[in-house]
Chains A and B, each alone.
Chain A
């Protein structure tokens, strides 16, 4: 066992990097619009882990990273609500959630 005082910050950063890349992969490869929204939530969570790790290891007295995380959580909640409302109105007009069929802006 390594003789350390605490978990190294790199461990948290690697976990958050991997989570972010999984989110990007899901965002690019999902056919279902709900899964795209889930991938966006995964990416926001990866950013939050990053902010929290830096706040705890680098700025551990002022913890401004935690305040930023609170704001990111707020924005993520607003984004989820609006995104799912858009999804519902898309579904009403197109009767599908397939991302490939939402191509009105394609040229």
Chain B
């Protein structure tokens, strides 16, 4: 990386602040739409961190796949299921919050302790591949990681077919368990839920 070290530090600080504050916003904000757009910001900043680590190809893949596909898919899902509903209050919500927060903080302190106390055997930066990393990734993908590469393509095909099968609506016109006709209207209009009176 040919940027001066001070510039790298400033970039790293800004990017990690955006990542952490954005992630807190994703989990804490009331509006799910704001969360989705903040998630896009978090993905972009993570791509920036990858650029600081000399990985231009992975940064480009991160922007393309996460911001371009996953985030757009999440926004579409919010658009399809965005219904204002009053959530039922949970009676032991306070103890749940306390327990989960303490678990997360304990895990965080353990991880930070491991990060700081372990002695990492860093390799010397002079045999770093640097900007040539895209070439090396290509060599890996077509030699020693060829089988995982092919399996990943099969996995993507299976996920595509599975998503289509799960999300299409006109497969059957009768519910399997109850025998009642399935409502084929738009999701927004569907009046009675099929399973809510079973519990």
Contacts and interface: CB of A to CB of B under 8 A. Distances in A.
A7 B12 contact: yes
A15 to B, nearest CB: 4
A87 B20 contact: no
B14 interface: no
A45 B194 CA distance: 36
Given A77-B69, A92-B169, A22 B24 contact: yes
Interface in A30-45: 30-35, 37-39, 41-42, 45
B180 interface: no
B152 A52 contact: no
Interface residues of B, number: 94
A52 B57 CA distance: 12
A38 B104 contact: no
Nearest to B105: A21
Given A11-B12, A25-B104, A88 B77 contact: yes
Nearest to A98: B87
Given A7-B52, A88-B167, A73 B66 contact: yes
* Dominant secondary structure at the A interface: helix
Contacts of B77: 34, 37, 84, 87-88
A29 B53 contact: no
Contact of A58 (B5, B32, B70, B121): B121
Contacts of B103: 24, 28
Interface string A64-98: 10110111011111111110111111011111111
A104 B193 CA distance: 14
* Dominant secondary structure at the B interface: helix
B181 interface: no
B159 A15 contact: no
Contacts of B127: 60-61
Nearest to B59: A52
A52 B23 contact: no
Interface string B119-148: 011110101110001001100110001001
21 contacts: A6-B8, A13-B115, A15-B20, A21-B107, A29-B96, A31-B87, A34-B36, A48-B46, A61-B128, A63-B133, A66-B57, A67-B137, A70-B61, A70-B141, A71-B152, A74-B65, A78-B155, A82-B159, A85-B166, A89-B166, A92-B187
Interface of A: 1, 4-7, 9-15, 17-26, 28-35, 37-39, 41-42, 45, 48-49, 52-53, 55-64, 66-67, 69-71, 73-82, 84-89, 91-98, 100-101, 103-104
Given A56-B54, A75-B152, A86-B166, 4 more contacts: A17-B108, A37-B74, A42-B39, A82-B163
